[in-house]
Amino acid sequence: MQRDLWQELCSYKNLILAFRKARKHKTTKDYVIEFGNNLENNLLLLRSELLLHSYNPIPLKTFIVRDPKTRKISKSDFRDRIIHHALCNIIEPIFEKLFIYDSYANRKGKGALKALQRFDYFKKKVSKNNTRNCIVLKCDIKHYFEIVDHKILLEIIRKKIRDDKIIWLIKIILQNHKIGRGRGGFGMPLGNLTSQFFANVYLNELDYFVKYELRAKYYIRYVDDFAILHQNHQILEKYKDEVNKFLIGHLRIELHPGKSKIIRFVRSVNLLGYRVFYYHRLLRKSNKRKFERNFKEKLRIFEQKELSYADFMSSLQGWLGYAMWANTYKLRNNLIKQIVEKNQIKD
């Protein structure tokens, strides 16, 4: 019997699961507590809006982040984030079966560390354990999230999702994002769960082209950053040209001319915020400087007793987890030592 995806999406069981996912790591936020205080009624209202096709998302809240490059982040209202999770709960497993092994962003069991480990494996294979040439085509897509074409994205999604009601909801979510002076039909907001998922769906077309048309064996992608390793510079030049033609002709996007380069792996390659050498990794200097600025500011707030020791440490856990995969043992120990000393003085 054919599945009724829309009924599955709108089910109370799916919505309660979506609520639990949306509140993860945010259980103390006022808006989560407020929604949870009348949880059943709020979820039933959302369900009714979906079933009656009267659901309309609240306009996104946009703010600028400089870390160090300037990025515009758009934040959905909490109730809309529940809808995003409800949608992904249903359609993500369908597309997950289609994704290639070496796509690493926003997927269970994948992530940046797995991508780095795979790159390490590839560099050893291509270089024959550092005895042959290893050349890397390192690419970035120009303004990717800003220029994704909604029409093309929906055509890709329709190949697997034939339920018009699901397509209606996806359109509603996409249309909530406007670029510039109300320019619709393009782009996805950074910060949305659905944007992360749709980014993989859109570039899965590229993955198939690289793996099955170009037959590039050593290929890794993480969101819109990707790398191909080979021993031959001319072959990588050909790959670069063919990839750009494919992106322009089929997906209406293009490689970033300044960030898409062919690099001989003699010293290091910049990948996912790290400088990857053959035998070790270092943090990129810009990422290290960014953290040091943030750390000083957090430390200042902590010293002024505006931030508890537990909250201070919690805010650092993500960065420490990221930094531990590079050669940063002394740096991390020095930071912890400073925090402990400040806490002892404070007490």
Cross-strand partners of 275:
270, 282
Residue-level pLDDT at 284: 79
Helix H or strand E encompassing 135 = strand 135-140
Q: What does the pLDDT look like over 21-35, one tens digit per residue?
A: 999 988 888 999 999
- Which residues fall within 8 angstroms of residue 123, CB to CB, at 6 or more apart? 134, 229, 265, 276, 278
Residue-level pLDDT at 182: 44
> Rounded distance, CA 17 to CA 206, Å?
32
Q: What does the pLDDT look like over 296-312, one tens digit per residue?
A: 777 777 777 776 766 66
Tokens of 230: 């080979």
Tokens of 327: 């050669």
**Model confidence at 44, in pLDDT bands (50, 70, 90)?**
very high
- Which residues fall within 8 angstroms of residue 174, CB to CB, at 6 or more apart? 150, 153, 154, 188, 198
Residue-averaged pLDDT of the chain = 88
Q: What does the pLDDT look like over 130-167, one tens digit per residue?
A: 899 999 999 999 999 999 999 999 999 999 999 999 99
Q: What does the pLDDT look like over 192-247, one tens digit per residue?
A: 999 999 999 999 999 999 999 999 999 999 999 999 999 999 999 999 999 999 99
pLDDT over threshold 70, residue 117: yes
Residue-level pLDDT at 62: 83
Tokens of 233: 């510079």
Look up residue 25 and give its DSSP letter. Answer: T
> Rounded distance, CA 130 to CA 120, Å?
11
Give this prediction's pTM.
0.86
With 0-12 / 13-18 / 19 or more C-beta atoms within 10 angstroms meaning exposed / middle / buried, residue 158 is middle
